[in-house]
């Protein structure tokens, strides 16, 4: 599911891929449902390609969002990412991903994670697992 959910640099919120055109994508906002074209010059990232830094290996965003869902009961977060202090954000993220790298994950990254999680939950998207086919033995 996260392969079709996109973040576009310079535009707030998250977008769902609707269609592909010649040198452009048609996306729909998960916040207000408005459709718009995006072009090759826009920096677009699929959420399936995002990961968070830990002290060991990087963890895919799908796993982090799943942990958020377990902690929050698949409801919007109790913490307000915009008003919370850096210490409150870090304490909340300790419960979501205990082994996160405190030198490379900034409070702004945690705020963005909270915002994205809340947008996805409000849009009814609660299955955060990647849809990768498992390799046969």
Domain chopping of the chain, boundaries: 5-47, 51-122
Residue pair 119/60 in contact by the 8 Å Cβ criterion: no
> What number does CATH give the domain 51-122?
1.10.10.1650
List the pLDDT tens digit at each of the 137 positions of the chain.
788 999 999 899 999 999 998 889 999 999 999 999 999 889 999 999 999 999 989 999 999 999 999 999 989 998 888 899 999 999 999 999 999 999 999 999 999 999 999 999 999 988 887 655 444 44
Residue pair 99/54 in contact by the 8 Å Cβ criterion: yes
Q: Give the contacts of 76 (CB within 8 A, at least 6 positions apart).
A: 117, 118, 121, 122
Query: CATH topology for 5-47?
Result: SH3 type barrels. (2.30.30)
pTM: 0.88
């Amino acid at each position: 599911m996260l392969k079709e959910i996109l973040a576009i640099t310079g535009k707030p919120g998250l977008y769902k891929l609707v269609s592909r055109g010649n040198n452009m994508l048609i996306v729909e906002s998960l916040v207000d449902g408005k459709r718009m074209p995006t072009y090759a010059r826009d920096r677009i990232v699929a959420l399936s390609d995002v990961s968070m830094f830990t002290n060991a290996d990087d963890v895919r965003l799908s796993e982090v969002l799943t942990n958020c869902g377990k902690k929050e009961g698949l409801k919007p977060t109790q913490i307000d990412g915009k008003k919370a202090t850096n210490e409150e954000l870090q304490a909340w993220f300790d419960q979501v991903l205990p082994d996160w790298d405190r030198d490379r994950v900034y409070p702004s990254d945690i705020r963005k994670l909270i915002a994205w999680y809340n947008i996805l939950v409000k849009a009814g998207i609660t299955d955060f697992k990647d849809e990768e086919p498992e390799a046969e033995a």
